[in-house]
């Protein structure tokens, strides 16, 4: 358990703290939730940076990091939908969570085929993550900052994140489909595998 993995574990540990603070009937709860989420986002950047900088990249870290990210995002979206159960919030939340399930299943399939790098995080995925984190942070904070409609701005960014989410999923699916098609083509020509399976 090295420092990068400890930071990832901290991000997971912050999830129940976020839930508890979210439901506290106190005026400072939204600010505290935003601060907790911001801390989690910082650890998300820091663990990857430190793992590369310190040469502590590990299989366990590669597994745990995306799990922590997806848990934090999914739980935050569920909290936001519960707090504001309009379709305007529920639909993008469902799309984002659904995309994460699809991409996770796709990565598992690619790993079984020995092509895990085919669905490695692309630049569009990193942009999506950044926009998504900012959107959720603003929506957790909720209160307007002077004349700035913080929640509304967060909602706009959430829809931008949805667009990037669908785009990145298409990129992953396209790359994976090429691999699957090539694998099936190779299997069908394999004399030791006449059934093509």
pTM of the predicted model as reported, rounded to 2 decimal places: 0.84
Other beta carbons within 10 angstroms of residue 67's beta carbon come to 13
User: At a CB cut-off of 8 Å and minimum separation 6, what does 18 contact?
Assistant: 33, 36, 37, 40, 72, 75, 76, 79
**Rounded distance between C-alpha atoms, residue 60 and residue 5, angstroms:** 8
Q: What is the pLDDT of residues 129-188, one digit of tens each?
A: 899 999 999 999 988 888 899 999 999 999 999 999 999 888 888 877 777 777 666 665
Q: In the structure encoding, which two tokens stand for residue 136, read together?
A: 């959720």
* Cα angle, residue 79 at apex, residues 63 and 35 outer, rounded to 5°: 75
Q: Are 108 and 51 in contact (CB under 8 A)?
A: no
Q: Mind listing the domains of the chain with CATH numbers?
A: 3-187 (1.20.120.1760)
Residue 56 per-residue DSSP state: -
């Amino acid at each position: 358990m090295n420092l990068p993995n400890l930071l990832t574990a901290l991000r997971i540990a912050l999830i129940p703290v976020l839930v508890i603070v979210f439901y506290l009937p106190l005026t400072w709860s939204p600010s505290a939730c935003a601060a907790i989420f911001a801390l989690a986002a910082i650890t998300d950047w820091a663990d990857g940076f430190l793992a590369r900088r310190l040469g502590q990249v590990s299989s366990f870290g590669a597994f745990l990091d995306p799990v922590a990210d997806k848990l934090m995002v999914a739980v935050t979206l569920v909290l936001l939908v519960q707090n504001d159960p309009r379709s305007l919030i529920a639909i993008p939340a469902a799309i984002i969570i659904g995309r994460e399930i699809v991409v996770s299943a796709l990565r598992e399939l690619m790993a079984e085929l020995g092509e895990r790098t085919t669905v490695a995080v692309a630049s569009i995925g990193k942009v999506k993550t950044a926009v998504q984190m900012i959107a959720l942070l603003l929506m957790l904070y909720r209160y307007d900052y002077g004349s700035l409609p913080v929640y509304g701005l967060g909602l706009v960014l959430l829809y931008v994140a949805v667009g990037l989410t669908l785009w990145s999923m298409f990129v992953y699916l396209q790359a994976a489909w090429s691999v699957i098609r090539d694998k099936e083509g190779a299997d069908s020509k394999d004399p030791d595998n006449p059934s093509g399976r």
